[in-house]
């Protein structure tokens, strides 16, 4: 699946997007975020406080218990500040 990072998540992790293949037991957003944290200290720091990490799957806001499939586009970003 494709994972996108925006704003300070992008700068902390150092990537705008990447293709990942998490193990089969990663079934939902919460599982993916936990798995990403194990990829290195930058991920662990950026994703430490999930209260300030919003999630969209296929460009729609979803809660952390939203199920994932292999072809999903998952975006992680801070609360939005447009307007």
Partner 1 sequence: MTIRVQREDFDVGAELEALTRGKTSIGGVTTFLGLVRDMAGGSSVGAMTLEHYPGMTERQLEAIEAEARRRWPLDDVLVIHRYGRLEPGDRIVLVATTSAHREAAFESCHFLIDWLKTKAPFWKLESTAEGEQWVEAKGSDDNAAARWEK
Q: Which of 37-46 are b and which e, b meaning 16 or more Cβ less than 10 Å from the residue's Cβ?
A: beeeeebeeb
d(CA 48, CA 1): 22
Task: Return the DSSP state at 16.
Answer: S
Task: Return the DSSP state at 80.
Answer: P
Q: In the stretch 15-54, what mask flags binding to partner 1 with x, by CB under 8 A?
A: ----------------------------------------
Find the part of the chain contacting partner 1 (CB under 8 A) among 20-28, 34-42, 64-72, 75-83.
75-83
Q: Is residue 60 part of the contact set for partner 1 (CB under 8 A)?
A: yes
**Residues at the site binding partner 1, with contacts judged by CB under 8 A:** 4, 6-8, 56, 59-61, 75, 77-83
């Amino acid at each position: 699946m494709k994972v996108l990072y925006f704003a300070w998540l992008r700068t902390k992790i150092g990537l705008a997007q990447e293709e990942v293949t998490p193990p089969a037991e990663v079934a939902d957003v919460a599982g993916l975020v936990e798995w990403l944290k194990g990829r290195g200290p930058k991920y662990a720091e950026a994703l430490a406080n999930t209260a300030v990490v919003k999630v969209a799957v296929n460009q729609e806001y979803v809660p952390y218990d939203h199920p994932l499939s292999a072809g999903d586009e998952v975006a992680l970003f801070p609360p939005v500040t447009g307007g």
